[in-house]
Amino acid sequence: MANERLTDMVNAARYDYAIIGQGLAGTLLAWRLHLRGRRVVVIDRDEAVTASKVAAGLINPMTGQRTCLSWRLQEFLPVAIAFYRTVERELNAPLLHSMPLVRLLPDDKALQKWQSAVNDPEIRSFLSVPQPKPLIDPARIRWGRIRNCCSSHSGCPTIPASIANALRSPHGRH
């Protein structure tokens, strides 16, 4: 693989764009450029352990302890889901996996915030009511579940390899 990368670097004039680093961001940028007909080379050290290779790539509609929607969620989430679904079809590989997340509610104040959020029309569809049977010692903690298709993980570790293979194929994929 090192020889292939060296050859790619030497022949860089054949490309419209050279992207340094094949983490998730570099990979997705390369894919978008490729789909727009641009000639792209991705130069990467291909280390065994990198953030994009070990990350879950969580897509979570809720932020921190404030129990509110992530910044610009209504704008960004549909675009992200559509993009991942398109990449799945192009690569014939599952990348986006919907699943519930659990938020631990450590005290009555956190429980009250959660209950208030459940009653908020803007975010109600993403939350469940606090669960009566906690996952942890009931005397110490309660929990609520974040639900809906938005609680997902992107299959982050498989995306760079899948896209790299598609970009290297003689005909590419469009």
Q: What pLDDT, in 10s, does the model give residues 7-56?
A: 655 565 688 999 998 888 898 899 899 989 999 988 888 787 777 777 66
Q: Is 89 exposed, middle or buried (0-12, 13-18, 19+ CB in 10 A)?
A: exposed
Q: What pLDDT, in 10s, does the model give residues 98-142?
A: 877 777 777 788 888 888 888 989 888 888 777 666 555 556 555
Spatial separation of the C-alpha atoms in residues 140 and 143, rounded to whole Å: 11
Confidence of residue 148 (pLDDT cuts 50, 70, 90): very low
Query: What is the three-class DSSP state of 5?
Result: helix
Q: Is 126 exposed, middle or buried (0-12, 13-18, 19+ CB in 10 A)?
A: buried
Residue ranges per domain, the chain? 1-55+156-174, 56-155
Spatial separation of the C-alpha atoms in residues 80 and 150, rounded to whole Å: 10
Spatial separation of the C-alpha atoms in residues 91 and 157, rounded to whole Å: 15
Q: What pLDDT, in 10s, does the model give residues 56-87?
A: 677 778 877 777 888 898 899 899 889 888 88
Nearest to residue 160, comparing CAs of 45, 16, 58?
45
